[in-house]
Amino acid sequence: MNIDFKFSNDVAAIGVVGDFICANVTLGEFVAEITRRKIHKINVSFGGVENWDSSFLVFIKQLHEMAENYGLELKISGLPLGVRHMFSMMRRGLSTSVRTSSEKLSFVEFVGEFGLRMYAAICDGAAFIGRVCKSVLRMVRGCAQTRATDWFFALDAVGPRAIGIVSLISFLIGLILAFVGAAQLKLFGAQIYVASLVAIASVRIMGAMMTGIIMAGRTAASYAATIGTMQTNDELDALDTMGISKIDFLVLPRVMSITFMMPILTMLADIMAVLGGAFIGVLIMRIPAGEYFAYTMQAIDMRNFSVGIFHGLVYGIIIGLCGCYCGIKCGRDASSVGIATTRAVVSSIVWMVIATGIITFLFEVIGI
């Protein structure tokens, strides 16, 4: 291996030729020379490198650290094809900057920086959704990089394992709705209409909403923690290095599983909420069971049922996307996993509330 250093005015050029294997290159003399010559730009060419190992990446990292420490413009060309992707990942890690806590921002600067962060987050989120949509299209064409085993595990995690908690919470919510409604309807001698109240509220929105909140705390957090831990262990980088799409391999099975199971869990929640209301109506208020369920069936129509199922479908998409996105965007230390998990739950619930408002407004406009 031969490394050639050249200087011209305020530009330094480095040319590397040969095999870069088990090399231990120090840049002490080069740093002293660029300091003496007041160099501002460094051009590095690796066009002559044929074979390389991990010491080649160490050398690139040293160049980046040198450029960052001395405020130099660094331009690298001729990287071997196999190292380009690893170099881009390393470059993203090296280019992150942290603002010191002692640095004060004016109000205008704070608003501007907040706006830039929001714009970047929106663009990043939209790009992630676009990648997921492309992954779904690849799945439809049968060329997605995914395994059947991952689908079975994902469906089991969000389906059968969630039945218990969804059933219990939905039953209690129906019970509470019936108890609160009965206390008011009893004043007018209209206790029988508690069946209609519980049925309409549960089937149209409350069943889907409570299921969504439960799954946000249970599933979105799980997705973020699992993928975030893989990020801290560099497993996501390993997938990228092997040419495996992490969207296909990790995100697609999880998003599609929760999207498929949420309408089913919503129907289960509706049934359990109605049974919870019947517990109060039949056993506490002494309404005949046949009469109670007759009023329940009269209150439930296909329109209200479809609205609730549609809410569940939308909530499933939101939970899957938020959980996986926060996991992929997780940092590389232990505390970042906790932050990503919290963000996944909070963002899922916030976006579900926003989606509920939008859907309710649109359905009201079109008369559904």
Q: 184 with 316, same domain? A: yes
Q: What local confidence, expressed as pLDDT, does residue 98 receive? A: 41
Q: 348 with 219, same domain? A: yes
Tell whether 120 is covered by a domain.
no
Domain boundary at 75, 94, 113, which? 94
Tell whether 177 is covered by a domain.
yes
Average pLDDT on 13-23 reads: 75
Tell whether 337 is covered by a domain.
yes
In single-letter form, the type of residue at position 197 comes to L
Tell whether 343 is covered by a domain.
yes
In single-letter form, the type of residue at position 226 comes to T
Q: Which residue's entry shows tokens 């960052």?
A: 68
Tell whether 138 is covered by a domain.
no
Least reliable range by pLDDT among 53-67, 166-180, 298-312: 53-67
Tell whether 171 is covered by a domain.
yes
Q: 190 with 266, same domain? A: yes
Q: Across-strand partners of 12?
A: 7, 42
For residue 266, pLDDT over 90 is answered with yes
For residue 55, pLDDT over 80 is answered with no
Please check whether residue 242 is in contact with residue 138, taking contact to mean a CB–CB distance below 8 angstroms: no
Please check whether residue 239 is in contact with residue 335, taking contact to mean a CB–CB distance below 8 angstroms: no
State the CATH number of the domain containing residue 13.
3.30.750.24
Which among 202, 180, 200 is positioned nearest to 191, based on CA atoms?
Answer: 180
Q: 61 with 170, same domain? A: no
Least reliable range by pLDDT among 30-39, 86-95, 241-250, 270-279: 86-95
Q: 257 with 153, same domain? A: yes
Tell whether 57 is covered by a domain.
yes
Q: 8 with 73, same domain? A: yes
Q: 221 with 286, same domain? A: yes
Which among 71, 75, 70, 61 is positioned nearest to 12, based on CA atoms?
Answer: 75
Q: 21 with 155, same domain? A: no
Domain span holding position 69: 2-94
Domain boundary at 53, 72, 94, which? 94
Least reliable range by pLDDT among 86-95, 134-143, 258-267, 292-301: 86-95
Q: 60 with 185, same domain? A: no
Tell whether 99 is covered by a domain.
no
153 sits in which H/E element = helix 148-158
| pLDDT tens digit sequence for 109-159 | 788 888 888 888 889 889 999 999 999 999 998 888 888 888 888 888 888
User: Which token pair is 313?
Assistant: 């479908």
Helix axes 221-232, 334-366, angle to 10 degrees: 140
Domain boundary at 66, 94, 122, which? 94
Least reliable range by pLDDT among 184-193, 281-290, 312-321: 184-193
User: Which token pair is 99?
Assistant: 């603002």
Q: DSSP assignment of 164-220, as one string?
A: HHHHHHHHHHHHHHHHHHHHHHGGGT-GGGHHHHHHHHIIIIIHHHHHHHHHIIIII
pLDDT, the chain, mean: 83
Please check whether residue 42 is in contact with residue 73, taking contact to mean a CB–CB distance below 8 angstroms: yes
Q: 87 with 169, same domain? A: no
Listed in order, strand segments (DSSP E) in the chain are 2-8, 11-20, 41-52, 73-77
The total of structural domains in the chain comes to 2
Q: 209 with 352, same domain? A: yes
- What is the rounded distance in angstroms from the CA atom of residue 218 to the CA atom of residue 197? 28
| pLDDT tens digit sequence for 205-239 | 888 999 999 999 989 999 999 999 998 888 888 88
Q: What local confidence, expressed as pLDDT, does residue 92 receive? A: 55
Q: 74 with 216, same domain? A: no
**Exposed, middle or buried by CB within 10 Å (0-12, 13-18, 19+), for 128?**
middle
Please check whether residue 218 is in contact with residue 168, taking contact to mean a CB–CB distance below 8 angstroms: no
- What is the rounded distance in angstroms from the CA atom of residue 130 to the CA atom of residue 145? 17
- What is the rounded distance in angstroms from the CA atom of residue 295 to the CA atom of residue 303? 17
